[in-house]
Structure 1
């Protein structure tokens, strides 16, 4: 139910086209698409989920229940600061949170919950990415 699509050579717009394709081609069985765009100076993470759009004064129809739209739920930018020694990494917008219900298609049991990648984990991820380029 989770797809991660990463790109260096693709534009963010191209990655977003791919995100829409994942939702559509899976017949909406994919519940979360995580985009990771690396451009040399920043890493942008976008978490997309689908929802049924709310139309004012519309009645519920079978068509509207089948029509879902991707919604950007979270955007995190991770930057690299080469002016510090050692080089430092900074993530904006807090932790990345992946819904347990959307990942496992059930309610969490005792001791289970959303998957959370904290700021420090995201910054360590960024350090690993930059070490590979």
Structure 2
């Protein structure tokens, strides 16, 4: 069922949320260790060879259609030096893997891309955004950072894709638009990923698009997350602010067969380029037909 209303990030399931009113999610490492990873066993990291074999076996299971293999793998303890080695191995042999590393816990959370449909779902959506800004004459004003690693609060992470305006020219400047993709059963974890980007960037990331793909059903689910000021339900002498910033679901879209619900998908121009639009510029809008065409491109080579 499509929900076009704003939906705040539900943190009530996190171990500390019931104890800490409006927790600082960027510093709540327990949240990133556990939320959406229920049933995923933390494996003891022994060496890079065993790690690679484990990842390959899980990836093979996913790509053969065994979704019970799960999209995420967790390893600990992984030191900084070991992480550097794993990053080299990933960059050479497993380019579709995405890492979230938590410094204090020395824990590596690996997201495994299940197959071509998920990779195409991300690349095509990124491509269409760039095409639409190109029509505005801004094709060089938005840079594709792909899977660049970004340093957060005691953690670091890569997106499946990320775009940032040329007004943020430094290597460590955060993107304004981030894409995260996964299987339909990983949606809860994808929302945790959205929280990481919005909170750890100190709100420099403006929009996170979550793309949940079901290959058996040929269904695509997209959620748009942004930071919003919301009433503070836990006002105390130490926390007197009437409003708090929370990750909020702005829109959700389902594309299934010839049906699209939740359209249009609208990405505010000012959020991506950090300035108001001028003549010939405007919000990036995906109509229902755009979304159908997008889904056709995703599934086109999967028949």
* Superposition TM-score tier, normalisation by shorter sequence: 0.7 to 0.9
Is the contact made by 1:8 and 1:39 (CA closer than 8 Å) also made in structure 2? yes
Listed as ranges, the gaps of 5+ residues in structure 1 are: 81-88
Larger radius of gyration: 2
The answer for the alignment partner of 1:85 in structure 2 is none
Is the contact made by 2:254 and 2:260 (CA closer than 8 Å) also made in structure 1? yes
2:265 to 87, 96, 104: 96
Following TM superposition, where does structure 1 have runs of at least 4 consecutive aligned residues deviating by more than 4 angstroms?
Answer: 61-67
The answer for the alignment partner of 1:47 in structure 2 is 224
Q: Give the CA RMSD over aligned residues.
A: 2.7
Map of 1:24-103 to 2, 5 A cutoff? 24-40=199-215, 41=217, 42-55=219-232, 64=241, 67-80=244-257, 89-103=258-272
1:106 to 275, 280, 300: 275
Deviation track 1:42-83 (CA, whole Å, cap 9, x = no partner) reads 110000110122237x7xx99849952011111000002xxx
Are the structure 2 counterparts of residues 13 and 126 from structure 1 closer, same or farther at C-alpha, using a change threshold of 3 Å? same
Larger mean Cα displacement after TM superposition, 31-40 or 61-70? 61-70
Are the structure 2 counterparts of residues 102 and 119 from structure 1 closer, same or farther at C-alpha, using a change threshold of 3 Å? same
Q: How far apart are the structure 2 equivalents of 1:63 and 1:110?
A: 42
1:20 aligns with 2:159: no
**SS at 1:7's partner residue?**
strand
**SS at 1:33's partner residue?**
strand
Count of equivalent residues: 124
Is the contact made by 1:2 and 1:103 (CA closer than 8 Å) also made in structure 2? yes
Cα shift at 1:132: 3.9
Is the contact made by 1:52 and 1:64 (CA closer than 8 Å) also made in structure 2? no
Larger mean Cα displacement after TM superposition, 113-122 or 7-16? 7-16
Listed as ranges, the gaps of 5+ residues in structure 2 are: 1-175
Are the structure 2 counterparts of residues 25 and 63 from structure 1 closer, same or farther at C-alpha, using a change threshold of 3 Å? farther
Write 1 or 2 for the structure with the bigger share of strand: 1
**SS at 2:231's partner residue?**
coil
